[in-house]
Amino acid sequence: MDRIGIIDLGSNSIRLVIIDINDNGAHHQIENLKESVRLRSGTDAQGFLTDEGINSAVEMVSLFVRFCRARNVTQIIAVATAAVRRAPNRSELIERIAEQTGITIQVLSSEEEAHLGYIGLVNSVTETTGLMADLGGGALKLVGFRDRLNQNSTTLDFGAVSLMEKYRLQDLPNKANLKELEAFLDETFAKISWLPSYPRLMGLGGTFRSLARVYRHYVHYVPDVTHGIVIPADAVAEIYTMLSSMDLQRRRQVPGLEQDRADLSVTGVAIIHRLLKAIDGRELMVSASSLRDGLFYKHIFPKDPILFNVLTHHTNNLIHYHNLDENHLRRVSNLAVILFDQLAPLHNLGSYERRLLLIAGLLHELGVVISVEGLEKHTLYTVLNSPLLGLTHRERVLAAYLAASHDGLFHANLRSHVDHGPIEEDDIDRIKKLAPLLQIAHSLDRSRTGVVTNLQASVSPHNCEIKVFGTQKRDLEIRDAHRQAEAFRQEYGIELTVVQG
């Protein structure tokens, strides 16, 4: 097993992630640490890093390196971004870190920084085309991608910290200063001719994540998941108006807003708000990915770090990392889909629901990583909160409730996801229709030996008969499948019989 540490020396903060990589290639993040340093603020008028800024950065990197060694990290990857890149005396910082820790900091070019953010993003989202905005303290990286391929890229020489200082927006913003900032942003974005070609905005970085947390509190959103959340442009504008009307003390009381980001929150959200206007974007999707993810994928897939299929990779990764019974999960998923296809005239559902059923079949026992006692609630929790990337929030919630319903319908707090979350009223009926199919499929591999190799379902006005085929005795599976007859009858209004084929 490998355990790698990635240190990201940014303009606003220094971050460390530690990731385990098992012998089978499965990976899992076990540490995610952050310390605000604000190197961008620790520069003088000529852009030189001050002694205070250098000392603070060296101390924090040294601490993170010691932490990595205490956690038995086998390899440390360390990079620095805009604030260090621009500093004429950056070599002093790099040399001091090397002397104290033995670690060499790689200073990323603006192109490398943007590309790593792009890799992390496209390996974690469902969208294949859009505009990535990676907002840091000292730079804004923009990448337009189509069919998951990087088409356009630029790095702007400002970030949330640098513009906050330039327009003096730390405390209660002056209206004239706000107008000046907005005019500067509008003028800057208008010069980038390709921006309007990508009206789907996807945001990376602490400012975007902070905005997502504020939004979740603002509308009482569930699930409590940042990655993949979609925020309407109107809501971004409302939050911007709210924050820009407050002084620093009041902003520190805003639910969801980090204390150490309260001062730069107005500037950061202003950048997001004006960028949405520049591309005529209707909504913002926030990603929890970062250039650290890009570095990780370049580490494990050096020849081609772009995943072929995002959802497949992350689903398989969960199964393999947690050593789940993959053969059983795939058999259940396949049997559920076969049943779905053969009962199409009965349920009248389509390819969207078929895909959900397949996913839920693969994940229906994920909760065992917590406990088999209360498996349903544990499965719901783990599907909602695991790094299962490549699903929209709506798909994640539906898959979670369906996976949790593999031995009876599970609907705890489901209503709240309709009232305050991403799912629709009709989605409850989708879960109710799909759940019995997953339950039957699970029963047909109850012994986990694969004795059921195929099935044939036929429907008459009053009965659904499932013939079960296999080369071995399958009495246990048939008997267990009959337990699902009542749930099937309640949903579909006909009797269920399961017989040997």
Residue 140 lies in a domain: yes
Q: 99 and 140 share a domain?
A: no
Q: Does any domain span residue 305?
A: no
Measured N-to-C along each axis, helices 265-279 and 233-244 cross at an angle, to the nearest 10 degrees, of 150
Tokens of 41: 């603020």
Q: Which amino acid, residue 487?
A: A
Query: 10, exposed or middle or buried, with CB in 10 Å at 0-12, 13-18, 19+?
Result: buried
Tell me: do 286 and 339 sit in the same domain.
no
Same domain, 177 and 284: yes
| CATH value at residue 358 | 1.10.3210.10
**Per-residue pLDDT in tens (0 to 9) along the chain, 501 residues:** 899 999 999 988 999 999 999 999 999 999 999 998 877 666 777 778 988 889 999 999 999 999 999 999 999 999 999 889 999 999 999 999 999 999 999 999 999 999 999 999 999 999 999 999 999 999 999 999 999 999 999 999 999 999 999 999 999 999 999 999 999 999 999 999 999 999 999 999 999 999 999 999 999 999 999 999 999 999 999 999 999 999 999 999 999 999 889 999 999 999 999 999 999 999 999 999 999 999 999 999 999 999 999 999 999 999 999 999 999 999 999 999 999 999 999 999 999 999 999 999 999 999 999 999 999 999 999 999 999 999 999 999 999 999 999 889 999 999 999 999 999 999 999 999 999 999 999 999 999 999 999 999 999 999 999 999 998 999 999 999 999 999 999 999 999 999 998
| Residue 321 within a domain | yes
96: its two tokens:
């001091």
Query: How far is Cα 339 from Cα 316, in angstroms, rounded to an integer?
Result: 23
Q: Which residues, at least 6 apart from 240, have a Cβ–Cβ distance to it below 8 Å?
A: 266, 269, 270, 272, 273
Closest residue by Cα to residue 404 from 445, 446, 359, 355: 359
Domain boundary among 108, 131, 157: 108
Which structural domain range is residue 42 located in?
A: 2-108
331 and 405 part of one domain:
yes
User: With contact defined as beta carbons under 8 Å apart, do 29 and 19 qualify?
Assistant: yes
Burial (CB < 10 A; 0-12, 13-18, 19+), residue 380, is: buried
Are 133 and 227 members of one domain? yes
* Cβ pair 112, 140 in contact under 8 A: no
Neighbours of 479 (CB within 10 A): 12
One domain for residues 215 and 278:
yes
Residues 179 and 51 in one domain: no
DSSP 101-134: HSPPPEE--HHHHHHHHHHHHHTT-S-SSEEEEE
- My answer on whether 355 and 434 are in the same domain is yes
On whether both 259 and 209 belong to a single domain, the answer is: yes
Structural domain count, the chain = 3
As a residue count, the chain comes to 501
Q: Are residues 270 and 398 in the same domain?
A: no
- CATH number of the domain within which 32 lies: 3.30.420.40
Same domain, 86 and 127: no
Boundary of a domain, candidates 72, 90, 108: 108
Q: Which of 61, 89, 108 is the last residue of a domain?
A: 108
Q: What is the CATH number of the domain that holds 131?
A: 3.30.420.150
User: Rounded to whole angstroms, how far apart are CA atoms 206 and 208?
Assistant: 5
Identity at 10, one-letter amino acid code? G
| 303 within some domain | no
With respect to residue 240, please indicate whether it lies within any of the assigned structural domains: yes
Q: Name the token pair of 302.
A: 């050096």
Q: Model's pTM, two decimal places?
A: 0.95
119 and 61 within one domain: no
Encoded tokens for 79: 């990079």
Q: How far, CA to CA in Å, does 215 sit from each of 98, 285, 414?
A: 41, 12, 20
Q: Is the residue at 297 inside a domain?
A: no
In a domain, 304, yes or no: no
Which class for 203: exposed (0-12), middle (13-18), buried (19 or more C-beta within 10 A)? Answer: buried
In a domain, 300, yes or no: no
Going by the DSSP 8-state scheme, the letter that residue 72 receives in this structure is T
